Structure 1
Amino acid sequence: MHLIGMKIDEVRIDGRMDCFQKDLEELNYMGIKAVELPVHGMDVILNGQINHRRMDQVTEILKPFKFRYSVHSPNPLNLMDKEEPKLHADILAASLEFARQVGAKAVVVHSGRFIPEELFTLCPARDIPEREKARLLAQEARILQEVCALYPDVTVALENARPYLSQSPYCYAERLGNLKTQVLDVNRDNVRINLDFGHLFMCATFYDFDPMAEVSQIRGLVAHTHIHDNFGGAVHHFQKQQTHQLPLGKGDSHMPVGWGSVPVAGMLQQILPEYEGLFMMELRSRYFNDIQESKLNLRKIIMQINQGENGVNLSRDLHPDRSTTQKTHHRHQI
């Protein structure tokens, strides 16, 4: 059975256990069957180590619920970090330990960034030497091999990245082919891919490629998904205000399924029926009251695919007309 889940928004709960518990209760009432837990939103990791007092609070709160769980590691975690790679390795290990304690089978990890978002302002876009890229890829692979060997019962799902105007390609995982190569190079059964549908559509618009053909490259490697909607338009890293971006159809909107132009059905058709993981919606907290609608739209798509129906369409074709999305910014090759 394919379970539809919802990620708890780390900014929404902001370390407050009462808000965390309330959101779990609301999701349970909505009939959500799986939840992605943001370890960083609950202050479970402090300075690279498990905060055991908070860990005990979280496990106590989770006791009454019957959700299937996955975990999102801290967003700034970067296994290509040049200054403190051991700290980032410790954060990865702590995230996997948290997952083991709450019974989660998958941990989402943002793929390594050659230049992290936090340094964009200080590091203008530049061509990164191939030797430096190779060194950082090897560093990430080594950390994954070492840490994941300690947690064979938990799968790390490396997430494909979104593009940024004037900064891409800052991350190898803006293209799924590169992400596939890295996963295969790590060569561990518990290192796979988290397919972020919204990020992929933004990259497809930015780099001008077919997102369905891109997904077809990673069949059998997808262990987790992030499903949400947008209109495909890339923005600069400092453009964060949703009320400014939505009228223009720009940004990593994380809207409910069916509200934007992401060809969710077409992407899902590339990984089903082999895919056995969770269908995890990752909506911004501003859409909390729209979770039910998103769930129903996603369920409809999955049912139509499973039934082998043709012409799956929620306000758009499987291959949306590019004229309705942002003009392609084909500026880089990675």
Structure 2
Amino acid sequence: MLANGALGTGISAHKRANDLGDFAEELDMIEELGVEAIELPTYDMDIVVGGKIRQPQMKALMRACGGRDVAYSVHGPLSINFMDEAWRLPRHMEVLKASLEVAAELGAEHYVIHAGIVPQQQANGVEAAYLRQREWLAKAGDIAAQHGVMLCVETLFAGYEGKGLTPTASRLAQELAAINHPSVAATLDFSHALLRLDYEGRREDFIEEIKTIAPWARHLHVHDSFGRQDDIWMFTDGERVAYGHGDLHLPVGWGEIPWDRIVEECEFPEGVLFNIELKERYWYVAQDTVDATKRLAGNARTTKVARAA
């Protein structure tokens, strides 16, 4: 842990071979960057199959991860959605339970779950979806607590996969306060939060929104963007970069996220992890991104009070 109370800097790994036979080489490469933690993309590893853990694949992951001097976090299936229709929620929970077991076996400190998404609809329907999410996240928090894992709900952005509405950073903070569970916190994805506000024409509210969610954010997703909607047909990712559209997962400093203002004005919980999510096409500047993020983590303001008053 850094002198300011931050856990330090991590980076998300990328799966290589589907059988994970070369995943140890990925982790070796990441350790050479000098990070304190690695986020594991278990959502794309065929470890949870039909709601159950496939043990041969789990053992392959354990072999790759074992004996390393880093902390781990886990990003589970992106499709788990507790704002979904009520009849589907037990299925989401089945997948989450298995995924939390995977995280616990790996010794992960943080488990990332996406905030819910619902189609655009009238207010009563939206509020009913928020109620479902509060009830089921509280249940999920109990399971996470049993495994010694912090469930971290990630900020998303409007229009994700055309499904419509997801909470802003401030609304997610409001929901977490209502749940008030010691094992349910936030993953603050800065790019997602900016994209969400840009959709509503409220970019100027970004810092205030971040201030609201920061006391809940035990886990951060650090990558840059311009916060512009991905609403023009593009042929390549390179074209999206040229226009600055979408959730680009750029190196820190390439976009328009005001990183210095964030660490100057926001207060995060002690033990917060600055985890980088860098697109593979930009790994030629991975070390620069780690160094920039280490500076941010070292300058961050933290507090032992993990909840907003």
The equivalent position to 2:76 in structure 1, one of 73, 77, 84, is 73
Per the alignment, residue 214 of structure 1 pairs with: 209
Q: What per-residue deviation string (whole Å, max 9, x for no partner) do you get for residues 18-46 of structure 1? A: 34222101001221221011111221111
C-alpha RMSD of the superposition: 2.3
Cα distance, 1:130–1:14 mapped onto 2, change above 3 Å: farther
2:146 counterpart of 1:131: no
Residue in 1 aligned with 2:307?
none
Query: One-letter code of the match for 1:73?
Result: G
Q: What displacement does 1:64 show?
A: 2.5
Could you tell me whether the CA contact under 8 Å between 1:80 and 1:112 is conserved in 2?
Answer: yes
Matched, 1:197 2:190: yes
Mapping of residues 154-169 of structure 1, within 5 Å: 154-164=149-159
| Amino acid of the structure 2 residue aligned with 1:171 | L
**In the alignment, residue 222 of structure 2 is paired with which amino acid?**
I
How far has the Cα of 1:256 moved from its partner?
Answer: 0.8
Aligned residue in 2 for 1:171: 165
* Structure 1 portions without partners, runs of 5+: 116-126, 307-334
Q: Show the counterpart of 1:144.
A: 137
TM-score normalized by the length of structure 2: 0.86
Name the amino acid aligned to 1:69.
Answer: Y
Q: Percent identity?
A: 24
Q: Which residue of 2 aligns with 1:102?
A: 106
**1:257 match: secondary structure:** coil
**Match of 1:172, as an amino acid?**
T
List structure 1 runs of 4+ shifted beyond 6 angstroms: none
Runs of at least 5 residues in structure 2 that lack an aligned partner in the other structure: 302-309
Q: Deviation of residue 136 (structure 1)? A: 1.7
The structural deviation recorded for 1:167 is 5.2
Question: In structure 2, how many angstroms separate the alpha carbons of the residues matched to 1:62 and 1:107?
Answer: 16
Take 2:235 and 2:176, find their aligned partners in 1: how far apart are those partners?
31
CA contact (8 A) 2:10 2:273 kept: yes
Q: Distance in 1 between matches of 2:19 and 2:113?
A: 23
Helix, strand or coil at the partner of 1:172: coil
Give the distance between the partners of 1:106 and 1:305, measured in 2 at CA.
19
CA distance in 2, matches of 1:86, 1:46: 16
Residues 37-60 of structure 1 show CA distances to partners (whole Å, capped at 9, x for unaligned) of: 111122111112211221122112
1:46 match? 49
Asked if the contact 2:216–2:269 (Cα under 8 Å) also holds between the matched residues in 1, the reply is no
Higher RCO, 1 vs 2 (CA within 8 Å, ≥6 residues apart) = 2
Q: In structure 2, which of residues 63, 66, 89 is the aligned counterpart of residue 63 of structure 1?
A: 66
Q: Are residues 1:300 and 2:295 paired? A: yes
* Distance 1:245-1:219 versus aligned 2 partners, 3 A rule: closer
Structure 2 Cα separation of the partners of residues 304 and 85 of structure 1: 40
